[in-house]
Structure 1
């Protein structure tokens, strides 16, 4: 099932100034501090003043009770366009999608998009206990540790339906660890072997230790603006070829086996004037490897149910046949809360402007970034993707 919406192009709008505030396992600083650091680095990188930021989009789980509006006073901003985007791993693509339209219509000229969270010793538990009304009423009171049990259900269902094995998920995790070894702030700093992956302690069958992201503190940020603005500031930039966004897709599936990407891939590829074989690297949202496999299928790189065979027949390292999560993704760098929804975007931007923090993808001209977020018991509610191109 796909849609064929005739999407308006993003001509004239670009992404620039990718910023990462290096991650920490735990932090005594607030989410506000991390967002402030990101904004400071954006201003410094773009050589602008805070008053020049007239659009602001923010995603954070730990900034409460504030939302984007409260942060404007906190940071001395006076934007004429504002978005609070609480969609977890889908936040980054949705932020650039909405900010780009704001720039196109003249509602803003320079939009700062930020995803950031802190991680106190006890903050992850508190986040889980108040994540959603569903979590408060029907999951957390019964002893669920959060997303692990939900993704165990989704993973087991996928394995039963399509014949995926733990070794297949392990191949993805091992490749991402190799990609992360050149990232100085990665939480996981040691090489991972498939034997170590297979022998890791169980968390919630069939989920084991290295299937799970490590919560941490950090921030990711970027600027959305007009191409002529980026040129006037001397900033290298990336073009947006197409985007898609879908929420609460395939509600009749008893357990999630696909996401909203599958409803909109025709729009994604046709608007970009491309096909999957044209993409040089892919950045998927990777809170658990089963979701990576679903995205590979639902984004058109193989048919539904062929994800396991696709994984077995490809090399996912940065110099492999299918460069994937080229910085190591969340599974090896860490999950800085809602910042996890931006990690693929900032990494893709760096690869396309030729300034990666880690290993460079040779002659990268196009990249696909996809997002996934807001898990309830048996499914995630938000999915999105963007195709980006080198200027």
Structure 2
């Protein structure tokens, strides 16, 4: 791999990348795929098993989970195979197919995150009206989150840009070369995606966190006489700390996972047709942030109070069942080991 000539079409796309970097990237991708799949399948299994979790708002969370799992299948797994083997192994036609599907699923995940944040925001601001009109609007918005990304694929269907394999992404992505029309079109699409999928949800969650903190301070300071709380607490409660941890985790997932990839994509399109380029390992460092969001999303959903309580109930039930089984087996072993005493009648009469 030392004598790498990019003009040679038989050269590996990773010819400039050290072997140990590819090994670390393969291990990282495999760990993300395994852990994310376990998290997503756990959530899906819990929702199917527990009727308490089958409420209307859960459809939005399931949209995020399903899109994440499909991204693992159609984006992460081909990337892992490409990094491990050193090249794209599925042919040109499959490159176009996987590129289109990956672009669609990533757009769907961002739209679903926007719908999820809007749903939580509506529940906080309109708690009494929410149950009445949430069912129709949740179905409409969730359907829109899966239909709207199809419109973003129209430029590809009309031949504006093509999907080619890029070693830095380990996947087939859109390539505009030096076509400025294609560049402007896809930069506008990327911008709309990042606004709807990251900036809008972060803004809504920030407003929700501030509202919840203000309401809690009002309650602590005795603004509601029926609660009979006359003075604020001197410190942060465990509930406040959990709320802050969740809020920071959401910001990290939405911003650090999406913004670097957005700026990378825009920079790549800007440098297209020039002699400047970004090294493969530079792409990998940034794209790894995006891969991490696939794991952070199920972790955030599992932190949901209803899901965490369902997991706790299942574990407590299995623990009590194992204890009961152990006690029954102990009683059986003790009854078998205990000698059987037979009391024979005695004759007390004298001869």
Q: Fold conserved (TM > 0.5)? A: no
Larger Cα Rg: Structure 1 or Structure 2? 2
- The TM-score with structure 2 as length reference comes to 0.24
Q: TM-score scaled to structure 1, two decimals?
A: 0.22
* Higher relative contact order, chain-length normalized (CA < 8 Å, sep 6+): 1
* Greater percentage in strand: 1
